[in-house]
Amino acid sequence: MSQTGAIGIIRAGVPARRGWLEGGSPVRQTLQRLSRNRLAVTGISLLLVILAAALLAGLLSPYDPLKMTVTDRLKGPSRVHWMGTDNFGRDIFSRVLHGARLSLEVGVAVMLLTTAAGIAFGMLSGYFRRLDNAIMRVMDAMMAFPAILLAIAIMAVLGPKTVNVVIALSIVYAPRTVRIVRASVLAIRGLDYIEAVRAQAAGHLRILFRHVLPNSLSPLVVQATFNFAYAVLAEASLSFVGAGAPPPTPSWGNILSEGRIYMQAAPWITLFPGLAIAGTVLGLNLAGDGLRDVLDPRMKT
Amino acid sequence: MTSYILRRLLGVIPVLALVAIAAFLLIHLVPGDPAMVMLGSDASPQQVQALRAQLGLDRSLPVQFIVWLRLVLRGNLGDSFFLGRPVTQALIERLPATMQLAVLSLILSLLIGVPAGLIAAVRQNTWWDQLVMATAIGGISVPSFWLGLAMILVFSVQLGWLPSGGYTPLWENLWQGLRSLTLPAVSLGAMQAALIARMTRSSMLEVLRQDYVRTARSKGLGHWLVVLKHALKNAMIPVITTIGTAFGVLLGGAVVVEIVFTFPGLGRLVVLAVQRRDYPLVQGALLLTSVIYVAVNLAVDLLYCVCDPRIKYE
């Protein structure tokens, strides 16, 4: 990490006019550094495998994830059923593959929504000082509720649907992103070059989106990765306590939840979806740590 | 310092007010008529009307809020529909179990996380460091409920060492109480232990590079004396500030772990309440936990400002 401090930050803020395949572009530099970070490469590879499994679930699944075959109930892992079957004789491997879809969909949606909310409210709060106090007190209040409990309460009110899981988790996890964007906007807005842009009579919107936002990107990208991870874990927790996506839609959380009663007789029902959740979250955490090391040398873990 | 403490105390008021508004508005987010949703589709119009009156839904929103807030401030959170008794009573009955679980988890995660992070920092880039950091990143990736299920399988079913569920209050039987709390507390605290280990390590690494540590070493002080007496104290500052947040996470996470261990705490009550659409109970639980969270954070901040004379009072 030769580039540190303000110089690195300001460079990244120059809009990438040149094609990003050219050697000097910030995006390409970041990708190059990322490819040399072993943790990040491991994490991203793990995620790509899981993403492929989710996208190709229809092709890869040997069975229909909802099809019940009573004669095959509670069978252990074998060549016929790689991860065994559950109490209805449904194939766990097929269910875990299809569950990946739901988990990743929820994760990506929550990541995008929290990022959008973070950008909007974080920039408003950090840039327009008059709004700051009001927005931040609301965020404090939202963060005063224990995350999972708030998500469960919102689910109770909105009803058990996948889209509501996304809404609930986005509400719960957005305040962290808002804080992070605000902090980096506060750090940037006082810098000389923003003054210079303002002196050129640039409008607020132009300053915010063209100059302030690009400079907030590093912490934002890192936080987005972690929000994805939180969302996957929280979705599974919600499904596990029966406040998530309704059955029979396979989700990692509700496969686990249904398999819990048969834990002694058929531990494989809970083992494999658990491994899938842990693998996904591990991949995201590794990628997030790697990104942080690459993008923000001062925050090295 | 007094003015800082005062300002910090006053700062709690708007947050609590917003928390109250959010908890109050929760019921009003119910699509359609909350009374109808709560009673189900086969309720008669008279029943719906009666419940609407009981909930005060027939009055304007600000009036409803003021009526509700006045009751809440007197400790009256309304009646639970399905338990048929005051929400406050039900919550207070369940609170001690959850608090014991959360506090024990916090203690465990500090007891595991701080030494682990310390060793990783002092032995940076050795296999000790790699072992601690690999375990830690694994720890923050495993869902608590899955860890709990796995531990039940190993320690309760296979080995028979610890109970797989149930709860004995610590003050009734300390030994039995600790036995019943061990597995839930470990599965709840594992993630926080991992986070604390990571934080202790990075903070320790930063402190160890500072001049005063080098001075202490060059005076000829022993290695561990410098590490434990000089460096650790300062390295703990960021860790201590996160204790409040960690406690909030544990309080919320307890909901899920309580389900795994059939532990009769707040969490299980809330999950039941959600399934039965018992909104006053959900609302009350949400309000209670967030007030506890705000109070714990306030206490940590105030303690911290008393302990660390360098803190800025702005």
**In this complex, do B289 and A300 lie within 8 Å of one another by their Cβ atoms?**
no
**In this complex, do B290 and A270 lie within 8 Å of one another by their Cβ atoms?**
no
pLDDT digits (tens, 9 = 90+) for B55-65: 777 777 788 88
What residue of A is the nearest CA neighbor of B282?
A: A153
**In this complex, do B29 and A158 lie within 8 Å of one another by their Cβ atoms?**
yes
Nearest neighbour of B277 by CB, restricted to A156, A241, A300: A156
**In this complex, do A264 and B26 lie within 8 Å of one another by their Cβ atoms?**
no
Nearest neighbour of A144 by CB, restricted to B256, B270, B290: B290
pLDDT of residue A166: 93
Nearest neighbour of B274 by CB, restricted to A144, A156, A286: A156
What are the backbone dihedrals phi and psi of residue A122, each rounded to the nearest 5 degrees, phi first? Answer: -65, -40
Nearest neighbour of B141 by CB, restricted to A243, A256, A285: A285
Mutation target to probe the A interface, by most A beta carbons within 10 A, among B274, B296, B300 is B274
Task: Answer yes or no: are the C-beta atoms of A115 and A216 closer than 8 Å.
Answer: no
Residues of A in contact with B150 (CB under 8 A): 274
pLDDT of residue A130: 86
pLDDT of residue A244: 82
pLDDT of residue A170: 94
pLDDT of residue B184: 92
Give the predicted TM-score (pTM) of the model. 0.83
Maximum average pLDDT range among A53-62, B89-98, B121-130, B171-180 = B89-98
pLDDT digits (tens, 9 = 90+) for A119-157: 999 999 988 888 888 898 889 888 888 888 889 888 888
What residue of A is the nearest CA neighbor of B280?
A: A153
pLDDT digits (tens, 9 = 90+) for B6-18: 888 888 888 888 8
- Of residues A11 and B285, which shows the higher confidence score? B285
**In this complex, do B15 and A264 lie within 8 Å of one another by their Cβ atoms?**
no
Residues of B in contact with A140 (CB under 8 A): 15, 18
What residue of B is the nearest CA neighbor of A136?
A: B15
Nearest neighbour of B255 by CB, restricted to A137, A158, A241: A241
Q: Mean pLDDT, to the nearest integer, of B234-249?
A: 83
ipTM: 0.83
Q: Mean pLDDT, to the nearest integer, of B284-313?
A: 79
pLDDT of residue A16: 45
Q: Which two tokens stand for residue A39?
A: 């943790």
Amino acid sitting at position A286: L
In this predicted structure, the answer to whether residue A13 has a pLDDT above a threshold of 50 is no
State the average pLDDT for chain B: 83
Give the number of A-B residue pairs with CB atoms closer than 8 Å.
Answer: 141
Q: Mean pLDDT, to the nearest integer, of A3-23?
A: 44
What residue of B is the nearest CA neighbor of A287?
A: B137
Task: Answer yes or no: are the C-beta atoms of A118 and A180 closer than 8 Å.
Answer: yes
Residue A242 C-alpha, separation from nearest chain B C-alpha, in angstroms? 8
Residues of B in contact with A234 (CB under 8 A): none
What are the backbone dihedrals phi and psi of residue A168, each rounded to the nearest 5 degrees, phi first? Answer: -60, -50
Helix pair B279-307, B87-122: axis angle to 10 deg: 40
How far is B201 from B221, CA to CA, in rounded Å?
22
Q: Mean pLDDT, to the nearest integer, of B71-88?
A: 82
Residue A61 C-alpha, separation from nearest chain B C-alpha, in angstroms? 24
Residues 6+ apart with CB under 8 A from B147: B186, B187, B190
pLDDT digits (tens, 9 = 90+) for B259-297: 888 888 888 888 888 877 778 888 888 889 999 988 888
Residues of A in contact with B253 (CB under 8 A): 146, 148
**In this complex, do A282 and B138 lie within 8 Å of one another by their Cβ atoms?**
yes
pLDDT of residue A121: 93
pLDDT digits (tens, 9 = 90+) for A198-247: 888 778 888 888 888 887 888 888 889 889 999 999 999 998 888 888 87
Residue A22 C-alpha, separation from nearest chain B C-alpha, in angstroms? 35
Q: Which of A248, A251, A250, A258 is closest to A236 using CA atoms?
A: A251
pLDDT digits (tens, 9 = 90+) for B146-169: 999 889 888 888 887 888 777 778
Residues of B in contact with A157 (CB under 8 A): 26-27, 29-30, 279
- Residue B83: left (phi > 0), alpha (psi -120 to 50), or beta? alpha
**In this complex, do A270 and B149 lie within 8 Å of one another by their Cβ atoms?**
yes
Task: Answer yes or no: are the C-beta atoms of A96 and A252 closer than 8 Å.
Answer: yes
Nearest neighbour of B15 by CB, restricted to A140, A159, A267: A140
The total number of residues shown for chain A amounts to: 301
B312 falls in which pLDDT band (50, 70, 90)? Answer: low
Residue B173 C-alpha, separation from nearest chain A C-alpha, in angstroms? 29
pLDDT of residue B268: 85
pLDDT digits (tens, 9 = 90+) for A113-125: 999 999 999 999 9
Burial class (CB in 10 A: 0-12, 13-18, 19+), B73: exposed
Residue A23 C-alpha, separation from nearest chain B C-alpha, in angstroms? 32
**In this complex, do A263 and B256 lie within 8 Å of one another by their Cβ atoms?**
no
pLDDT of residue A187: 82
Q: Mean pLDDT, to the nearest integer, of A2-24?
A: 45
Mutation target to probe the A interface, by most A beta carbons within 10 A, among B141, B158, B164, B288 is B141
How far is B11 from A91, CA to CA, in rounded Å?
55
A18 falls in which pLDDT band (50, 70, 90)? Answer: very low
In this predicted structure, the answer to whether residue A23 has a pLDDT above a threshold of 70 is no
**In this complex, do A256 and B149 lie within 8 Å of one another by their Cβ atoms?**
yes
In this predicted structure, the answer to whether residue A10 has a pLDDT above a threshold of 80 is no
What residue of A is the nearest CA neighbor of B287?
A: A145
How far is B214 from B130, CA to CA, in rounded Å?
25
- How would you write chain B as a 3-class SS string? CHHHHHHHHHHHHHHHHHHHHHHHHHHHCCCCCHHHHHHCCCCCHHHHHHHHHHHCCCCCHHHHHHHHHHHHHCCCCCECCCCCCEHHHHHHHHHHHHHHHHHHHHHHHHHHHHHHHHHHHHCCCCHHHHHHHHHHHHHCCCCHHHHHHHHHHHHHHHCCCCCCCCCCCCCCCHHHHHHHHHHHHHHHHHHHHHHHHHHHHHHHHHHHCCHHHHHHHHCCCCHHHHHHHHHHHHHHHHHHHCHHHHHHHHHHHHHHHHHHCCCCCHHHHHHHHHHCCCHHHHHHHHHHHHHHHHHHHHHHHHHHHHHCCCCCCC
How far is B198 from B219, CA to CA, in rounded Å?
30
In this predicted structure, the answer to whether residue A12 has a pLDDT above a threshold of 50 is no
pLDDT of residue A126: 87
- What are the CA-CA distances from residue B194 to residues A126, B88, B187, B278 (Å)? 32, 35, 12, 36
**In this complex, do A144 and B294 lie within 8 Å of one another by their Cβ atoms?**
yes
What residue of B is the nearest CA neighbor of A240?
A: B256
pLDDT of residue A112: 96
Helix pair A129-144, A162-189: axis angle to 10 deg: 140
**In this complex, do A301 and B198 lie within 8 Å of one another by their Cβ atoms?**
yes
pLDDT digits (tens, 9 = 90+) for B86-134: 888 889 988 988 999 999 999 999 999 999 998 888 888 888 888 888 8
State the average pLDDT for chain A: 81
pLDDT of residue B107: 93
Residues of B in contact with A132 (CB under 8 A): none
The rounded percent of chain A whose pLDDT value lies above 90 is 16
pLDDT of residue B32: 65
